Amino acid sequence: MYELVQAGPQSYYINSPAKAGIYVRENSEAYLIDSGGDKDAGKKILKILNANGWNLKGIINTHSNADHIGGNRYLQKQTGCKIFTSGMELPFVNYPLMEPAFLYGGYPCRDLRHKFLLADESEAVDVSDESFPKELEVIPLPGHFFQMIGIRTPDNTVFLADCLSSLETLEKYQVSFIYDVEKYLETLDMVGKMEAGLFVPAHAAADTDLKTLLEHNREKILEIEEKILEICKTPSCFEDIMKQLFDTYGLAMNFEQYVLVGSTLRSYLSWMKDKGKLDVDFSDNKLLWKAD
């Protein structure tokens, strides 16, 4: 773990729970693509940078989930580097309490205020800032989170953040976190048409061809949609739908899974209602979802 791998003449990634990318200019200025899950990850990343004589100039956060921004504060404090992110991700990076609050739908209790959902605060600016390295291409990758981005480096390495999951992750967790299902599927389509010297997803193996993995991710979404439709043949409230989904996939409920899968389930329900596959009844002061 935390092994440095060369991806292209100027591009590298660090094998870690959420891969961190590195782009190095000829003058040894380095730009980090995501910073790991916590201060310890930041320390390990900085050790690798220093060992190679690279000066950390900036961090580009593909999105604001805690496992991608957790090293920000430590690295910024140690090096004075700038931090960049995109659009709606920016307030979440600067005010990380927004992530567990958004997932829970209110002020998060102590059980949700931990490093897996709540990173330390850092000071970021938008990728439109004039100091952003212009040679890097910003690729919109909406769906997983609000305005997630990927990065293409000049040597044609493409860092894809969380726009797809490995087969092992799909089998283990079944219901992967998604904010906007429609946009997520559109992103899968878009990535499937892309070419690169190497694709580097944060939670799957780097590869030159992701078409098979992209299809597995798409199939899982459609499978979950069918299971929700089957459940909703009987008008059901949200909690009952979630219980049946957990039971179907053999998932174990805890606070973290409740908010991650629960938020994702709400996104599926919204997507399916907007498509006309589900409707709602308000009965006995309950919101019931039903297959249309």
For 247-282, the pLDDT digits (tens) are: 999 999 999 999 999 999 999 999 999 999 999 999
Domain annotation covers residue 176: no
Provide the token pair at 175. 């219901």
Look up residue 99 and give its two tokens. Answer: 């992530």
How many other CB atoms are found less than 10 A from the CB of residue 141? 28
Percent of the chain residues past pLDDT 90, beyond the cut: 99
- Do 228 and 157 share a structural domain? no
pLDDT band for 240, please (50, 70, 90 cuts).
very high
> How many residues would you count in the chain?
292
Q: Which residues of 233-272 are buried (b: 16+ CB within 10 A; e: fewer)?
A: eebbeeebbbebbbeeeebeeebeebbbbbbbbebbbebb
Containing structural domain, residue 131: 3-162
Indicate if 25 and 126 belong to the same structural domain: yes
136 contacts 142 by C-beta, under 8 angstroms:
no
Helix (H, G, I), strand (E, B) or coil at 152: strand
Among the candidates 114, 146, 162, a domain finishes at 162
Residue 204 lies in a domain: no
Which of 117, 144, 162 is the C-terminal boundary of a domain? 162
| pLDDT of res. 292 | 85
What's the chain's average pLDDT?
Answer: 97
- Regarding whether 280 and 146 lie in a shared domain, the answer is no
pLDDT > 90? residue 208: yes
Q: Domain boundary residue among 113, 133, 162? A: 162
- Residue-wise pLDDT tens digits, 142-151: 999 999 999 9
Asked if residue 211 belongs to a domain, the reply is no
Interval 23-38: pLDDT, tens: 999 999 999 999 999 9
Any domain includes 192: no
Q: Are residues 8 and 153 in the same domain?
A: yes
Tens of pLDDT, residue by residue over 84-105, are: 999 999 999 999 999 999 999 9
Residue 122, token pair as written in the block: 């850092």
For residue 121, tell me if it sits in a domain: yes
- pLDDT score for 55: 98
- pLDDT of 136 reads 98
CATH number at residue 129: 3.60.15.10
Q: Does any domain span residue 9?
A: yes
CATH assignment of the domain containing 235: 1.10.10
Q: How many folded domains does the chain comprise?
A: 2
What average pLDDT does range 127-140 have in this prediction? 98
What confidence score (pLDDT) does residue 118 get?
98
Banded model confidence at residue 1, pLDDT cuts 50, 70, 90: confident
- Supply the Cα-derived Rg of the chain in whole angstroms: 20
Same domain, 36 and 143: yes
